[in-house]
Chains A and B, each alone.
Chain A
Amino acid sequence: MPIDVPARVLANRRLSDDYNVLTLDAPAIGAAAEPGQFVMLKPGAGADPLLRRPFSVFEVLRDDRGAAAAITILSKRIGPSTRLIFDAVPGRRVDCLGPLGRPFTPVAPPSDAWMIAGGVGLAPFATLAEALAARGAATTLFYGARRGDELFYLDFFRALGVELILTTEDGSIGERGRVVAPLERRLAERSAGAALMLYACGPEPMLAAVARAAARYGRPCQISVERIMGCGLGGCYSCVVPMRADDGAVHNVRSCIAGPVLAADRVVWG
């Protein structure tokens, strides 16, 4: 059951000119959140901006005894709300509604897990990597960004034993180009009998390409979509994704309650 917490900003760490990690005093949401779930944040009081914005729960910070103490969100500054989040000072109140949505389903051995992230699409994978590590699943992160200085939290994933495959559009770190290229090569190399689950989050063209690759190699794939979202609870019908049902018909599905994690092979790409 989602709760609304008038959370204080505990810390705001700027990762670059556009990206920041905001720490919010919302332990109850952290305790309940599962990997892939999201919160709806209202970073400013009043009517402008009016609506909340959805953010993946990036990390659940824990105290010495392992209890949830706070959550963080990874944000990229693109509009008025993310600007408020980028500029938020400790002590500021950010209304935080969550946890919301359907989470990832983590796999366990003998299945391996491959996570594919593009840019701010890294956000749901920190908690997923922890869940996969706890199950002992061998995990790889394919992570692409525009530039090397926009690849974040690499040590976090390394510490969990996650294999990193990095790409940048300018070639400053890792392979030059898009993250789907090394993914395709690895898929081609992998023996068909070895179980594998793909998880992807990032820009729409990347998700579509990952979904196509997964289908070509017959691999199941869970994607986390990001849509313009009004309420996060299924009330407004703004965040719909066209999806194919069992009978072949295409229906607009609310990604806030049916997702944000969706089966890639059901999504109808534009």
Chain B
Amino acid sequence: MDLSVRIGSLTLKNPLVAASGCFGYGVEYAEVVDLSTLGAIVSKGLFLEPREGHPAPRIVETPAGMLNAIGLQGIGARRFVDEKLPELRARGATVIVNVCGTTLDEYVEVSRVVSDAEGVAAIELNISCPNIKEGGIQFGCSLNGTFDVVSAVRKATPLPVIPKLTPNVTDVASFARAAEDAGADAVSLVNTFLAMVIDVESRRPKISNVVGGLSGPAIRPIAVRMVWECRQTVKIPILGMGGIADARDALEFLIAGANAVQIGTANFVDPFIWGKVLGGITDYMERHRVARVADLVGSLDAREEAADPTRPAKSV
């Protein structure tokens, strides 16, 4: 059984990737997960300089989900390279660095810093964090901005470049197209949905930033739809995410057209989720006689007769 997937020039040993902002710098999880068994880990978002992020409270739970506005607290690209990367390398992790910037130049500079370091497999461009005013979303919400930042970073690094797209736009697929046109090797989607929770007794917002990003199972069907739309539009690989909590959720994304999947919020609930999801995917592949996980990608049967509700449901 072949679980490997290709993301541009990069081959992942399996399609499970730890999502940025949900796995620290990876080293935090080294005691509970063998990092070398994951397809890849995506670091917390990194600017050039350290950032302290927003004051607490930074998260609030919602039905089948959570809102966060951490504010991209982070140690900065150089300290990541010096302090975290050596351990990740020693543990055999495939490391994708989530690159942030307040300006085009900063994206380029951070990309150069991590490209010069040993042990970085790819760059995920954070152009979609909804929680800070000056960090990326202004690029991610404009087709020209997306094209410009991907083009600039594309020229600055030999590594695969993977912009992470926001769902807070009218047509995500057009942003995937802009990224592809600018030379992106793949796209990640979706980041969180901008949302808000109010304490009615105090009439105060429940997180300090007032608004934050919604993640978790609540957003999964929307994310699946967006991945499917992007699959119709671009040829480059897609790393799909949004509320994946078990193998069936992951399979939905693969079938919709994702080449790999990222797990975020569910890792908070169960840090041992990785082996369970991978086991569930291999069980599914055995039952459906699928030899290569890559063969599942975009395998949606969207023929009209397939949707006939009188047909007996195929058990998965």
* In contact, A49 and B61 (Cβ under 8 angstroms): yes
Minimum CB–CB distance from A113 to chain B (whole Å) comes to 29
A227 proximal to B (CB < 8 A): yes
Q: List 16 A-B contacts (CB under 8 A).
A: A1-B31, A4-B271, A47-B65, A50-B216, A50-B217, A228-B56, A228-B59, A228-B60, A231-B267, A235-B28, A235-B267, A236-B21, A237-B44, A240-B53, A251-B52, A252-B53
B28 closest partner in A (C-beta): A234
* In contact, A50 and B269 (Cβ under 8 angstroms): yes
Chain B residues contacting A233 (CB-CB under 8 Å) are 24, 28-29, 32, 271
Which residues of A line the B interface, CB within 8 A?
Answer: 1-2, 4, 42, 47-52, 95, 97, 227-228, 230-231, 233-242, 250-252, 257, 270
B137 proximal to A (CB < 8 A): no
Q: Which of B31, B58, B245, B265 has the most CB of A within 10 A?
A: B58
Minimum CB–CB distance from B43 to chain A (whole Å) comes to 12
* In contact, B28 and A50 (Cβ under 8 angstroms): no
A97 closest partner in B (C-beta): B271
* In contact, B52 and A50 (Cβ under 8 angstroms): no
* In contact, A230 and B63 (Cβ under 8 angstroms): no
* In contact, A48 and B64 (Cβ under 8 angstroms): yes
Chain A residues contacting B61 (CB-CB under 8 Å) are 49-51
Besides A48-B63, A236-B22, 6 other CB < 8 A contacts?
Answer: A50-B66, A52-B269, A228-B58, A231-B268, A235-B268, A238-B70
* In contact, B268 and A236 (Cβ under 8 angstroms): yes
* In contact, B64 and A235 (Cβ under 8 angstroms): no
B36 proximal to A (CB < 8 A): no
A241 closest partner in B (C-beta): B56
Select one of A1, A238, A250, A257 contacting B59, CB under 8 A.
A238
Chain B residues contacting A227 (CB-CB under 8 Å) are 56
B92 proximal to A (CB < 8 A): no
* In contact, B65 and A4 (Cβ under 8 angstroms): no
Chain B residues contacting A257 (CB-CB under 8 Å) are 28
Chain A residues contacting B52 (CB-CB under 8 Å) are 250-252
